[in-house]
Structure 1
Amino acid sequence: MKTFKGLSVLLAALVVLVGCTADETETNEETETTEPEIDELVLGFFPSADVENMAETAEPFGTYLSEELDIPVSTEVLTDYSGLIEAMRNQHVDIAFLPPFAYVQAEERAEAEVLLKAIRNGSATYRSQYSVPADSDIETVDDLVETEGLVWAFTDYASTSGYLFPAQQLMDKGVEDLDEHFMLREVGAHDRAILALVDGQADFATTFQDARVRLEEEIPDINEQVRVIGTTDEIPNATLSVRSELPEDVKAAIEEAFLAINDNEEMLGVLDAVYNWEGFAPAESEDYDIVREVYEEFQDSIE
């Protein structure tokens, strides 16, 4: 009897021990899968105009998001696309406005995830635009192909509308070597490319459509001084992207907060001042396949 009783006690102890172990395992699993707390977020902007002025104009985004997400959000304007991508890769920037090509690079290099795309002029797509001084003899894009030695002003080699799509189009039209055919001037922002025409520093410029609007306050007759001669095919608009490592609930909250801007007149005014955008629409990675095709063409030379 004593032996049987002792055995019963031993079995009961084992059950308790196994139960405790199971509870500890469940607790450990729960601990391992719990998403980390986010104490602060950084929203990064790509430069489309003077960086210092953009930084001041973009500040209300930080205030708005801080209130909507209940997480402190600061804003930062990077000096170029590569810097913004690197900042995402290093987890210095958590949320970013990324042009199409920069998004494709950020997806590859920093595992960025697109949430939304911009709406501009009522559309989720846009075109690259070719512009020349009003008194130029150049009338068409074909004239650019047929004339060697022209000075070409553009924002950045990694700019989708500023360089990549027009470069692809010019090559498709017969330019074999862009570096030999043109004198290339990388100027850092779309408005600076237009200013290069006004100042006589370039023969033609490629920008988003229509970058002249950024200079209307400074140069009221800019549309008379600069003439448009052509555009490229359609390009999906710039993105709102995030670091993929962010918790899913935070990503969802970010997406909801930016979509809510579509009904927020104050923030729409800020969005227009920063990028001349009118709101946001849902986006998928597949929307940017056409950009990936151009990226493959220029990847080696850019990197």
Structure 2
Amino acid sequence: MKNLSLIILALVYSLTFSFSKAEDGKKFLTLGTYTYGLNHRMDNLLPFSTLIQEKLEGEYKVITVSYPTVDELIQAMLVNEVDMVFISTSGYLGYMEHSQDFEIAGALIDDSGATSSYRSVIAASKKSGISDWEGVMKKSKNLKFSFVDEKSTSGYLFPIKQLESKKLIPIEDQFKTVDFSGNHMKALESILSGESDLAAFGANDLYALGKRKDEINILWISDTIPLGPVLVSKRVEEKVKLVIEDLLLGLHFTQPTVFETVKSGWVEAQHASRFEKVSLAYYLDFLK
């Protein structure tokens, strides 16, 4: 029911308000993001939307919309329903396969080196008898593997790169079964219960396990993963792009409370210290 409400909300905003002129002469700028679980992130982005509106001195009304999935956010980008988006790393790379009509205004940067930074994990259920990669490669045809979602950065994209390095792709040919749990905790729970033999998920859920970590064997933890970018449509007026970018890149210094509110919408961004201008190459380098 909640997802249905968000779909209706997104459709109403996109059909009525997206970058068009209202009767009072104001133009509209639509800021979009995606929902994860019950977290629609609109409360996190509304203060930033308000700042943009204030900086544009009333010329624009900024509308904030959350789409139920990354795929639906990408579709909204492709049909020009949104003008600015906060998107995941995997979502951004997926979008770039279809179009290049949005450009990066900035991305959250985490250079803390903390073990609890945004990372990906592949682990095995102890019930599977798997404790290392040698065991995986010997028994892969008999193993059940649970991922999060094909649009998940830490629950699919980065694990696939690791499996590729082990010559364990295509995954459908290498493992007995492959399934997608829909969220990180469910993937992790599948190996705790023994329902799956292997699982890929974000490290934040691993750190939340406490003593139950002893029930699984960790096979791999990635380096810190780059956080998803903020994108602005090339259709947006240049002066508006500059306002958004200047505000974003200085947010940690000029509006620290708003900065903390924005980044708290993404648990993986807890150690991020600032937004910084990056390029597509920044993301591709991490996948090499």
Q: Give TM-score scaled by structure 2 length.
A: 0.72
Q: Equivalents in 2 of 1:212, 1:127: separation in Å?
A: 10
What corresponds to 1:194 in structure 2? Answer: 188
The one-letter code of the counterpart of 1:280 is F
What corresponds to 1:23 in structure 2? Answer: none
The one-letter code of the counterpart of 1:44 is G
What corresponds to 1:152 in structure 2? Answer: 145
* Match status 1:282 vs 2:277: yes
In the comparison of the two structures, how many residue pairs are matched? 251
What corresponds to 1:228 in structure 2? Answer: 218
The residue correspondences of 1:78-89 to structure 2 (distance < 5 A) are 78-89=67-78
Query: Any idea what the Cα deviations from partners look like across 1:99-141, whole Å, max 9, x if unmatched?
Result: 3332123234232211212223626x95432123466532233
* Match status 1:43 vs 2:31: yes
Q: Equivalents in 2 of 1:117, 1:142: separation in Å?
A: 37
Where do 5+ consecutive residues of structure 1 fail to align?
Answer: 1-34, 295-303
What corresponds to 1:207 in structure 2? Answer: 201
1:109 match: secondary structure: coil
The one-letter code of the counterpart of 2:232 is V
More off after superposition, 58-67 vs 82-91: 58-67
What corresponds to 1:164 in structure 2? Answer: 157
Q: Equivalents in 1 of 2:260, 2:95: separation in Å?
A: 26
What corresponds to 1:68 in structure 2? Answer: 52
What corresponds to 1:243 in structure 2? Answer: 233
1:249 match: secondary structure: helix
Q: Equivalents in 1 of 2:155, 2:86: separation in Å?
A: 16
What corresponds to 2:174 in structure 1? Answer: 181
Query: Any idea what the Cα deviations from partners look like across 1:7-40, whole Å, max 9, x if unmatched?
Result: xxxxxxxxxxxxxxxxxxxxxxxxxxxx987733
What corresponds to 2:14 in structure 1? Answer: none
Per the TM alignment, residue 179 of structure 1 is displaced from its structure 2 partner at its CA by 0.5
What corresponds to 2:79 in structure 1? Answer: 90
Q: Equivalents in 2 of 1:260, 1:131: separation in Å?
A: 39
Query: Any idea what the Cα deviations from partners look like across 1:192-232, whole Å, max 9, x if unmatched?
Result: 3223334443222212333435xx3xx66554555532134
Q: Equivalents in 1 of 2:162, 2:210: separation in Å?
A: 31
1:197 match: secondary structure: helix
* Match status 1:118 vs 2:112: no
Q: Equivalents in 2 of 1:226, 1:269: separation in Å?
A: 34
Larger radius of gyration: 1
Q: Equivalents in 2 of 1:230, 1:68: separation in Å?
A: 41
Mark the CA change 1:174 to 1:60 in structure 2 (over 3 Å): closer, same or farther. closer
Mark the CA change 1:169 to 1:265 in structure 2 (over 3 Å): closer, same or farther. same
1:188 match: secondary structure: coil
Q: Equivalents in 1 of 2:267, 2:31: separation in Å?
A: 15
Mark the CA change 1:201 to 1:119 in structure 2 (over 3 Å): closer, same or farther. farther
The one-letter code of the counterpart of 1:54 is N
Mark the CA change 1:62 to 1:226 in structure 2 (over 3 Å): closer, same or farther. farther
C-alpha contact (below 8 Å) 2:45/2:261 kept by paired residues? no
**CA-based RMSD:** 3.3
Q: Equivalents in 2 of 1:225, 1:178: separation in Å?
A: 25
Per the TM alignment, residue 54 of structure 1 is displaced from its structure 2 partner at its CA by 0.7
2:263 match: secondary structure: helix
Per the TM alignment, residue 158 of structure 1 is displaced from its structure 2 partner at its CA by 3.2
Mark the CA change 1:262 to 1:203 in structure 2 (over 3 Å): closer, same or farther. farther
C-alpha contact (below 8 Å) 2:131/2:217 kept by paired residues? no
Where do 5+ consecutive residues of structure 2 fail to align?
Answer: 1-18, 55-59
Mark the CA change 1:211 to 1:69 in structure 2 (over 3 Å): closer, same or farther. farther
What corresponds to 2:8 in structure 1? Answer: none
Mark the CA change 1:262 to 1:162 in structure 2 (over 3 Å): closer, same or farther. same
More off after superposition, 243-252 vs 196-205: 196-205
2:95 match: secondary structure: helix
